[in-house]
Structure 1
Amino acid sequence: MTASADIKAGDRLVHKVFPPITRHTLALYCGASGDHNPIHVDIDCAKSAGFPDVFAHGMLVMAYLGQALTDAVPPSRLRNFSTRFVAITQLGAKLTCEGIVTELFSEHGERRAKLALVTRDDRGEIKLEGSAVVAL
């Protein structure tokens, strides 16, 4: 993280690009999370529900954003993290997670920053939006 005295509104504190989501990634996430909804790993199930193929778990996309956030800001400085799912993330999507400082303030004797978070695919489509508050 940039020295806290240098941080100002508009600064990008979070930026991480993840490799494309594969079927293998989805299968591993099913096992790790316990979310075995077949729509995420079984193409026949996805097609019967009207989708062209399987797609990523929303919580997998949120986990990517959380990882990008904690790569940029130590977890001990995280005060709040929330997200809103915007769109389905298709198989093969290459996700980019970013966080921009929107506000600087003091609370409980700490200098803090509010971040606007977003996850986009390689076509620029927003998949997840959120916010975080971090102690500087």
Structure 2
Amino acid sequence: MTATIGYDDVEVGTELPERLFPLRRADLVRYAGASGDFNPIHWSDRAAAEAGLPGVIAHGMLTMATAARLVTDWIGDPRALLEIGVKFSSPVVVPDDDEGATVSVRGVVEKKLDGNRVVVNLTTRCRGEKVLMASRATVRLP
């Protein structure tokens, strides 16, 4: 989705269609390199088990960035994303196989603000379970 969405094109209740984002172990390694977060719970099954986790988990900030992609792809300009906030509610477990995990993200316009700003509520799930709560993005539209 690269079409530019304008402020007048959306109303409260406008839905952003669901997108599915795959996360595989290789993605976790790439993110660790980019972020500098090499905590072994993000790549070692043994370390994840020792920490009491059900398996290797995606970085929380990677999960948040994945949710943000729904919005930045929808608006067509990542610079228009002014703010994003989430609460982490459940980890994204990424199996060591060819499929990994799939993160599902949906959005709905919650409100329109002055200055061509729009607040979008996001619903982010993995394996049917919400992985982010109170997830909102504010964007400025043309």
TM above 0.5, one fold? yes
The root-mean-square deviation of aligned C-alpha atoms, in Å, is 1.8
Relative distance call for 1:52 and 1:75 in structure 2 (3 A) is: closer
Relative distance call for 1:28 and 1:75 in structure 2 (3 A) is: closer
User: Which position in structure 1 is the counterpart of 2:13?
Assistant: 10
1:35-91 CA deviation, whole Å, 9 max, x = no partner? Answer: 000111111111122223211111110111122221112233222221221111111
User: Which position in structure 2 is the counterpart of 1:89?
Assistant: 92
Relative distance call for 1:85 and 1:52 in structure 2 (3 A) is: closer
The answer to whether the Cα contact below 8 Å between 1:14 and 1:72 also exists between their aligned partners in 2 is no
User: Which position in structure 1 is the counterpart of 2:132?
Assistant: 128
Counterpart of 1:83, as a letter, is V
**TM-score (norm: length of structure 2):** 0.81
User: Which position in structure 2 is the counterpart of 1:29?
Assistant: 31
**TM-score (norm: length of structure 1):** 0.84
Alignment of 1:71-86 (within 5 A): 71-73=73-75, 74-86=77-89
Q: Gaps (5+ residues) in structure 1? A: none
Distance 2:13 2:5 in 1: 13
Distance 1:124 1:90 in 2: 12
Q: What displacement does 1:9 show?
A: 0.9
User: Which position in structure 2 is the counterpart of 1:116?
Assistant: 121
Q: Gaps (5+ residues) in structure 2? A: 95-99
Relative distance call for 1:103 and 1:59 in structure 2 (3 A) is: same
Aligned-pair identity (%): 37
The answer to whether the Cα contact below 8 Å between 2:68 and 2:137 also exists between their aligned partners in 1 is no
Counterpart of 1:102, as a letter, is E
Q: What is the aligned length?
A: 131
Distance 1:38 1:76 in 2: 32
